[in-house]
Structure 1
Amino acid sequence: MTQSYFVRSEMQEALPPPGQTTGIVAWARANLFSSPGNTLMTLLGFAFIAWIVPPLYDFFIARAVFTDPEQLRGAACRIEDVGACWIFVKARFQFFIYGFYPDDQIWRVNLMFVLGVILLIPLLVPKAPFTRTAALLFFLVYPVVSYFLMTGGVFGLSVVPSAEWGGLTLTLIIAFVGIIASLPIGILLALGRQSKLPAVKLFSVAFIELWRAVPLITVLFMASVMFPLFMPRGIDPDTLLRAIIGIIFFESAYMAEVVRGGLQAIPRGQYEAANALGLSKVKTMVFIILPQALKHVIPGIVNTFIALFKDTSLVSIIGIFELLRAVRSAGADPNWISPTMAVTGYVFAGFIFWVFCFGMSRYSIYMENRLHTGHKR
């Protein structure tokens, strides 16, 4: 009996994977319908979306007031069954962003923001050129330039007191100054709390426990009302400066505990390895321990930054017109009073806060994925 053989002379083209193992169907089966419990939760989630989305769309888009050709202002939003009053946000948008800053000097605020973004991008983007130069300019030169741009009084710039600052501009100033200053102070306090010098340790512990034991509202009231009473006669520090200093000290105490948690997570073997290499205590801390500790607590650090950014709204209680108070004060205009005006303003302010907080959160996740070296689970 003759046996025949077949030998292929060229490779056969690869077949596509089964449809149920790739694509949207496979993703849905793996993530949404992988078990009876997940299937039930998915169906409940779809039901909730179907219940909440149509009313939101109806209020914020379908029945919303986007234009005011007849210049009716609040009257255009007082018509029966109207939705969000977006013309209110459009009309007062400049006030929400710049507060009472003079209209003809707003270019100074815009220039400050543009310079900040240009210098900040090399610090946030890995492998960007001129990182060291950008860092020196951002932390040493930029604060001085920003101060004189905002306050004026030099190079022919008119003086604009801090009482005329407001809106999102003031919110960002308070938040970024607090973030940049609280991190190094928090690191020093965390190191001081672990110091073997009794005076340094006692001071660090007392500072941390004192500021963590009182709410931020109390700190702001003390900075605004009580602090001037302890100053020499005739000296009255700026209200904004007092609020920023209070926020820095308050957030530094929380930052210190976050950093201390990272320091305690470093195994003893890292210290012993540094000693074996002959590194001094300062070099061990700067080059070995701190980089690892800060990498471990990136989520906690960013969480503190996000809390600080949202806490800036509390400065309104001492008369500072940050974003939220600017929205509230704009709503007090009788020309704009309407049933949906306040809701629209608060939604706008909430969206602004969400954008910045979500951005910090996503960048935190990016840095975690980029810096983790096997400790991540």
Structure 2
Amino acid sequence: MSDTHAQSVAFVRDTMLPEQEPPATERGVIKWLRENLFPDWINAILTLVAIYFLYKIVSGAWPWFLNGIWSTDSLAECREILQGTTGACFSVLTERWNQLLFGFQYPNEEYWRPTLAFILLFVAAAPLLFAMYVPRKVLIFTALYPFIAFWLIWGGTIIVPIVALVGFIAAYVAFKQFERNSFAAGLGAGVLAAAVVWYVGGFLSSAMSGVLALPEVPSRDMGGFMLNFILGTVCVSLSLPIGILLALGRQSSMPIIKWICVVFIEFIRGVPLITLLFVANVVLAYFLPPGTNFDLILRVIIMITMFSSAYIAEVIRGGLAALPRGQYEAADSLGLDYPQAMRLIIMPQALKISIPGIVNVAVGLFKDTTLVSVISMFDLVGMIRGPILASTEWNGVYWELWGFAILMFFPVCYGISKYSQWLERQLATDHR
């Protein structure tokens, strides 16, 4: 009886079987290749064709890099060493690297100054770009950085940037004091306070010209990639707040402000940037008093900033238009006035929507800084097309120099693009 009953009861396992590895086609490199490069026969053919073309490009370019010459004084010496074999003449980079980076007139012994300003830029930008990871105290250095960078790059006494800083502080304090009456009163008081401080500070800086003074470097002596970087950084930084104001002004209910912004935006967007640069270089001088020395780099910064701010204004206006009407009504229901509603509710959402467009304008603006070469400013492209290729030693070297230009511009533009994608993921709270 017991044996029959034991045979009729099913066996139940009381321990788990050990895990087995998935098949080879479902793990590791083979899985990645199967899913990304060979998911079906059409993609497999396209992958093989792409590999073939990559092989032809690499196999053709590899000898040119492998046989590169780095230690000659001219193109003729490179060709004499190569004796007809394929090879690059990278000697032009080792010979003229300082001119490509800093221009041919910036003092050699002062290269540490723009280099230090470039390094400090990352420290100053960190609390703005990565606010959630950097202490807010670093914002103090961010506010001081423009004045420090000006002193490092242009030189002169440190009293000049200090006076400029004090002028901005006085303008802010005056604005906050008189803003209680009206915005116009605050703005007027701020402008007046800054003007008084800068006027008095002009005499002070002249009297103390030797205090903590670095050798002055005029703007005409600046060039190379340093000039492109200065123009790109300054113009992008200035065009974003100006673009926000233009976008808000275009949507204003006050007709005068609205039409001023509309005319400005449409006019600037309808004129090529190169035309504005010619205006900054030639035409603007006719509207200034005789003997006025208006720095060329400052004129170019103004024109490029105007150009990019008009495009950013339209991008931000698109972000504002994309917000549902309920957001504006929610701000009104909370009893917020116009500045509070824009600062706390409307503008953060509009900027979040506008990130791809703003980044697109920023990348395009940074590349467009090379257009200053057409007005005889020796930026990186101007140095290549001008003093270097015009010299008898390096006339005929092209791929090496333009490849160096690509090596300078691509990481910056690609880094801006990748940062914008990271920022979009960080702000994508509605998809989490």
TM category, shorter: over 0.9
Q: How far off is 1:281 after superposition?
A: 2.1
SS in 2 for 1:20: helix
What is the TM-score normalised by the length of structure 1?
A: 0.92
Give the match for residue 226 of structure 1: 283
1:330 and 2:333 aligned: no
For 2:148, which of 138, 145, 150 is the aligned residue?
145
SS in structure 1 at match of 2:282 = helix
Identical aligned residues as a percent: 41
Indicate how the Cα distance of structure 1 residues 39 and 126 shifts in structure 2: closer, same or farther if over 3 A, else same: farther
State the 1:207 CA deviation.
0.4
Q: Which residue in 2 is equivalent to 1:45?
A: 50
- Corresponding position: 1:112 with 2:117: yes
Say which of 284, 303, 321 aligns to 2:360. Answer: 303
Which one-letter code corresponds to 1:337 in the other structure? N
Deviation, 1:88, is: 1.0
1:103-150 per-position Cα deviation (integer Å, ceiling 9, x unaligned): 11112212212222222233323532323x333432x32111211222
Q: 1:211 to 1:136 in 2, by over 3 A?
A: farther
Mapping of residues 48-197 of structure 1, within 5 Å:
48-59=53-64, 61-66=65-70, 68=71, 71-79=72-80, 80-99=84-103, 100-131=105-136, 133-138=137-142, 140-154=143-157, 155-197=212-254
Question: How far is 1:319 from its partner?
Answer: 1.5
Distance between the aligned counterparts of 1:264 and 1:22, measured in 2? 47
TM-score, structure 2 as length reference: 0.81
On the 8 A contact 1:97/1:168 being kept in 2, the answer is: yes
Q: Can you give the 5+ residue segments of structure 1 that lack an aligned partner in the other structure?
A: none
Structure 2's unaligned 5+ residue stretches are 158-211
TM-aligned CA deviation for residue 196 of structure 1: 0.9
Say whether the 8 Å CA contact 1:166–1:321 is kept in structure 2: yes
Distance 1:302 1:19, change over 3 A: same
In the alignment, structure 1 residue 352 sits paired with structure 2 residue 408 = yes
- Report how far residue 9 of structure 1 moved: 4.1
Offset of residue 307 of structure 1: 0.2
- Is residue 290 of structure 1 aligned with residue 325 of structure 2? no
- 1:65/1:76 contact within 8 Å kept: no
Q: Is the 8 A contact 1:65 1:82 kept in 2?
A: no
The separation in 2 between residues aligned to 1:269 and 1:375, in whole angstroms, is 20
Q: Distance in 2 between matches of 1:72 and 1:271?
A: 66
Distance 1:78 1:123 in 2: 50
Matched, 1:236 2:293: yes
| Partner SS, residue 236 of structure 1 | coil
**Alignment of 1:202 onto 2:203:** no
Residue identity in the other structure for 2:412: F
Distance 2:428 2:371 in 1: 35
Post-superposition CA distance 1:268-300 (Å, at most 9, x none): 111122222222222111111111111111111
Larger radius of gyration: 2
8 A contact 1:190–1:260 mirrored in 2: yes
Residues 79-123 of structure 1: CA deviation (Å, up to 9, x unaligned):
423422111111111111111210111122122122222222333
Tell me which of 290, 302, 306 is aligned to 1:245: 302
Residue 365 of structure 2 corresponds to residue 365 of structure 1: no
Give 1:273's aligned residue: 330
Note if contact 2:126-2:134 (Cα within 8 Å) is conserved in structure 1: no
Contact 1:270 1:288 in 2 (8 A): yes
CA offset at residue 306 of structure 1? 0.3
Structure 1 residues 46-83: Cα deviation after superposition (integer angstroms, max 9, x where no partner): 22212222112222x123223x2xx4432232242342
Amino acid at match of 2:392: P
Of residues 28, 45, 49 in structure 2, which corresponds to 1:23? Answer: 28
Higher mean C-alpha deviation, range 295-304 or range 148-157 = 148-157
**Aligned length in residues:** 368
8 Å contact from structure 1 (residues 193, 205) kept in 2: yes
Quote how far apart the aligned CAs of 1:351 are.
Answer: 1.7
Spell out, residue by residue over 1:211-254, the C-alpha distance to the aligned partner (whole angstroms, 9 max, x if none). Answer: 00010100000111000000111113111111111000000000
> Which range moves more in the overlay, 32-41 or 164-173?
32-41
Contact 1:120 1:134 in 2 (8 A): no
Matched, 1:254 2:257: no
CA 1:225 to 1:112, structure 2 compared with 1: closer, same or farther past 3 Å? same
Look up the equivalent residue of 1:153 and give its one-letter code.
G
